[in-house]
Amino acid sequence: DAKTTQPPSMDCAEGRAANLPCNHSTISGNEYVYWYRQIHSQGPQYIIHGLKNNETNEMASLIITEDRKSSTLILPHATLRDTAVYYCIVRGPNDYKLSFGAGTTVTVRA
Amino acid sequence: GAGVSQSPSNKVTEKGKDVELRCDPISGHTALYWYRQSLGQGLEFLIYFQGNSAPDKSGLPSDRFSAERTGGSVSTLTIQRTQQEDSAVYLCASSSRGPDTQYFGPGTRLTVL
């Protein structure tokens, strides 16, 4: 997705927090930041989304900067099962054609 | 609760044969989407159903591809006269209404020999 920029890969130690950055400097005021992940050979899994405020659910936390030009997905205690490609996307309220960029390949190591 | 389910999980077919892929959305979800994902490629939108509205078929790559959604629930994606370039993972997603958060199924891996 040309609207977002993510690092191609990152490693994380099991049990530690994983902080995944995403830049979306051209985001519009009504566009949401969504995160999905895709574990090998599985369908994409919704993680979390937000507009302006920070969000937290049972899977992760999403921190959005005040200017909304970047965000960070935080997996608080990474496990080996969190190894996956993580996609950050920006979508407007009426956008339904999702597209993923290259994402960040996260490898959690024991 | 139950998520989106798809069947079969894997399908191997010969070039020229027709295939049908099935999607059961999350109960109560009015919107249903089909995508495909080729090896090493991103998501490619195929079709979108929303309630009783006419579907958005703008992503279907050729007239060999068609989809229907019966009774506002189960959907079937049909590929006629399959070609090798149709080999991909076909993903179905549903959302509670319109362009809301989409939840994906596990996909059907189609291999055309």
> How many residues are given for chain A?
110
Which residues of B are less than 8 Å from A99 in CB distance? 42-43, 45
The percent of residues in chain A predicted with pLDDT above 90, rounded, is 93
Which residues of B are less than 8 Å from A94 in CB distance? 98-99
Give me the total of CB pairs closer than 8 Å, taking one residue from chain A and one from chain B.
49
CB B32 within 8 A of CB B23: yes
Mean pLDDT of A57-69: 97
Which pLDDT belongs to residue B35? Answer: 97
CB B33 within 8 A of CB B105: no
pLDDT tens readout for residues B67-89: 999 887 999 999 999 999 999 99
B98 contacts chain A (CB < 8 A): yes
* Residue in B closest to A49 by C-alpha: B101
